[in-house]
Amino acid sequence: MAIGILSARCCLTPDPASMHHIKRGFILLVVLTLSLLVVAYIYHSPYNHFNVVNLIKSCKTESLAVSKDFWNKMHSTTSISTNPVPQHQYVAHPSNYHFIIDEHEKCKQINPFVVFMVPVALYQREARNAIRSTWGNETTVQGKTVLTLFVVGLTVGADSEKAQQQLEEESRQHRDLIQSNFVDSYFNLTIKTMVTMDWLATRCPQATFSMKVDSDMYINLENLMTLLLRPELPRQNYITGFLMWDRPVIRNKKSRYYVSEELYPDTKYPTYVLGVAYVFSNDLPKKLVEASKDVAPFNIEDAYIGACLKQIGVKPSRSPDPSQFRTYMKDPKHHDLSKVITTIARSPKQIVEFWKSVKRQT
């Protein structure tokens, strides 16, 4: 009761010092509340991993060389405004990024029929060399010119400067590297894929087909070319590979493939082509880049391409022989590698083994 009376008295006859402390406390409380609201807004934004995390990561290295336009757009996605901001178009859409290492004249020089784009981490030189010494070394298949290029992002860490210097030297030696200024990570594979599509659309529109190929894949170019040269095969709005139908969205937060409802609200993905390797008519990259302005990004890159395909009204096609697009083979020694188009190798060394095995049979 005494405490209650004392409190009432203080409220009725406040002294100047008490009022000063009260005002100060109230101002601090307001500032703290507003700060928490801003943090909560950014944290719960469905695009926070794409814009805020990458922005923080990018501050760790001078080699990011992000353009002024990119910084302005990134700022616009994290600021609170009364006007609706189309955040997704400033995230995975490739206009936010630029090329640090580029082979922009390559397609003009050789006019390829098929371009193989291999996303690979900066440090995976052994994987690049395995491809360079096997299927990636081919320049002509069944009279058609082919081109193989590797797509990398930026790395962060203590050795990032040295790694960048080594990559630039590798580029001067092989002239087959494309590097863009996004941070290379598993979560950023969607960005990496869209940057790849942008390169094809802007640097190599004259190619007839392109193929996105992971760095652990063996590709039988003869079988692929036989498929692409079939007279009935469409040369527009065509994409094929290992098809994925009715795939549920993984909501288990412990899964590598977890996608939140904020990033992708539907329970199932549209039909898409497994990202390890898929081939497509080269009119699609430009259309996919355009579609990505209106399709909110999420971190499953092949399913995201499926969502963009749905946006433009293109359905992935079943291959004439679906068994040619394989994932892992349980016993590759007893499987006829000469009949496949793609299969996953367990190491760079196995890519070389698969290649030599097929060569011995021909």
Angle at 193 between CA 115 and CA 325, to 5 degrees: 60
Summarize pLDDT for 168-191 with one digit per residue, the tens.
999 999 999 999 999 999 889 999
Confidence tier at 29 by pLDDT (50, 70, 90): low
Q: How far apart, in Å, are the Cα atoms of 299 and each of 48, 256, 296?
A: 12, 10, 10
Q: Is 58 exposed, middle or buried (CB count within 10 Å of its CB: 0-12, 13-18, 19+)? A: buried
Question: In this structure, are residues 208 and 238 in contact, taking their beta carbons and an 8 Å threshold?
Answer: no
Distance CA 136, CA 319 (A): 23
What is the model's pLDDT at position 80?
27
Task: Flag whether pLDDT at 157 surpasses 90.
Answer: no
Distance CA 333, CA 337 (A): 9
What's the alpha-carbon Rg for the chain, to the nearest Å? Answer: 26
% the chain with pLDDT above 70:
74
Report the CATH architecture of 98-361: Alpha-Beta Complex (3.90)
Distance CA 351, CA 148 (A): 15
Summarize pLDDT for 121-151 with one digit per residue, the tens.
999 999 999 999 999 999 999 999 999 999 9
Distance CA 18, CA 159 (A): 56
Question: In this structure, are residues 228 and 282 in contact, taking their beta carbons and an 8 Å threshold?
Answer: no
User: Cβ neighbours of residue 164 under 8 Å, at least 6 residues apart?
Assistant: 63, 122, 154, 155
User: Cβ neighbours of residue 177 under 8 Å, at least 6 residues apart?
Assistant: 101, 103, 149, 150, 152, 167, 170, 171
Pairing of strands 114-119, 140-141: unpaired
- Residue 187 has a CB neighbour count (10 Å cut-off) of 14
Task: Flag whether pLDDT at 236 surpasses 60.
Answer: yes
The answer for 51, left when phi > 0, alpha when psi is -120 to 50, beta otherwise, is alpha
Task: Flag whether pLDDT at 58 surpasses 50.
Answer: no
Q: Which two tokens stand for residue 194?
A: 């869209």
Distance CA 333, CA 330 (A): 9
Question: In this structure, are residues 93 and 194 in contact, taking their beta carbons and an 8 Å threshold?
Answer: yes
Distance CA 282, CA 293 (A): 19
Summarize pLDDT for 74-99 with one digit per residue, the tens.
333 332 222 222 333 335 788 889 99
* Residue 178: alpha-carbon gap to chain centroid: 14
pLDDT, greater one: 275 or 52: 275
Domain regions of the chain by residue span: 98-361
User: Region 8-16: what's the mean pLDDT?
Assistant: 41
Distance CA 136, CA 38 (A): 49
Minimal CA–CA distance to 238: which of 208, 263, 264, 259?
208
Mean per-residue pLDDT of the chain: 81
Output the CA torsion 322→326→332→337 (10° steps). 50
